[in-house]
Amino acid sequence: MASVGAFLLNSWYVAAWDHELAGGKLLARTLLEKPVVLYKGDSGNVVALDDRCAHRGARLSNGRREGDCVRCMYHGLKFDASGKCVQIPGQDNIPPRLGVRSYPVVTRDRLVWIWPGDPALADPAKILDFPYLRDQNWRGRPDYMHYKANFLLIVDNLSDFAHLAFVHTKTLGGSEEYAYKSKPTAIERLEDGFRVERWHMDADAPPFHKKVSPEAARVDRRNVARMYVPGIFFMETLFVPAGTGAREGNDPGHLPGAKQYRNCQFFTPETSRSTHFFWDYLHDYDLHDPAIAQSLNESMIAGFLEDKFIIEGQQEVLDADPNFKMSGIAADAPLAHFRRTLGKMIDAEREQVAAA
């Protein structure tokens, strides 16, 4: 089972939203315990380098972008997008191996992805696709949050829908009935994570949905969650008026009053005790009204802050007693499978590195 200090290196992680690099900004961000500087060059390409000048270790993020290059503002060494040193002020000879590490990066659907492992294995086709981010029939509002906790504690939290009823009663859940009466319709343990489907029938609409759909009364609610290694979460949510037959297979697109949401969340370890959290929550109705995306964004933040309070408290407790062992209950089946799956991938990766 994966430990809190273990990372899968040969994988794509979200490093930033593209708007975080607007205006030629040099963005300093620690990713998997490695300080990295990210920026968009004049070519439009995003560059990711170790945030450490090869000369005296000064932060390149405190430097100056020049075209697709960055100049360290301690002694003026200039590095190109590949990390190679291309200029040393006052010195004509540049040692051929003088440079900093560069990382493969891909920008897709407003997300900047980074590959922290072996560059030779960085296949862009392995980047998980979430088409709703670019689909004009869906609208959202990209956002970011920082957690003072290991990313696996966040994965644990999302793996269990039962907590909605207790942590998010006034925001995302709605009532404790959700935990006591609704059970997973299906749990699929997959090679790269898991899939969980859950229905909650003839219940009051949860507060976040009620805010943007005041007419919603009793609803049938479906959540289909997909968690991927190393820490990517997609969820499809459907609300329909209670008793309209969605669970029996009626097409939601043709059911009166049906409203759908798409949730994407990306967890990138900063350190073993902190996490970058990138997310968007999209809707498929009344796209002309920006107030809906704004309201949903605010509701999600309120819910995430409730999670954050619990999860960061967990991290403090676990730090205080590293020998404490968490006990399992039935609802933990997806998260236990995820940790085992991730642990096996990390072990296999380490064995390959050791063999090489």
| Residue 330: pLDDT band with limits 50, 70, 90 | confident
| Mean pLDDT on 229-249 | 89
Q: How far apart are CA 356 and CA 353, in angstroms?
A: 5
Instruction: Give the residue, 109 or 174, on which the prediction is more confident.
Output: 109
Assess whether pLDDT exceeds 90 at residue 179. no
Residue 262 has pLDDT above 70, yes or no: yes
271 CB neighbour count, 10 Å cutoff: 16
Helix (H) or strand (E) holding 153: helix 151-158
Element (H, E) at 285: none
CB 14 within 8 A of CB 133: no
Mean pLDDT of 302-328: 91
Both structure tokens of 198: 């859950």
For residue 161, the model assigns a pLDDT of 60
pLDDT(97) > 60:
yes
pLDDT of 180 > 60? The answer is no
Give the end-to-end CA distance of the chain in Å, rounded to a whole number.
Answer: 24
Whether the predicted pLDDT of 337 surpasses 80: yes
In which band, very low, low, confident or very high, does the pLDDT at 182 lie, cut at 50, 70 and 90? low
Query: What is the mean predicted confidence (pLDDT) over 75-79?
Result: 97
Label residue 297 exposed, middle or buried (CB < 10 Å: 0-12, 13-18, 19+). Answer: middle
Q: In the predicted model, is pLDDT for residue 136 greater than 60?
A: yes
Residues 17, 23, 24: CA angle, nearest 5 degrees: 90
For residue 62, give the amino acid letter: N
Mean pLDDT of 149-176: 72
Q: What pLDDT score does 251 carry?
A: 64
Residue pointed to by tokens 């993020």: 61
Average pLDDT of 274-286? 97
* Tokens standing for residue 287: 């796209």
State what percent of residues in the chain have pLDDT above 70.
Answer: 90
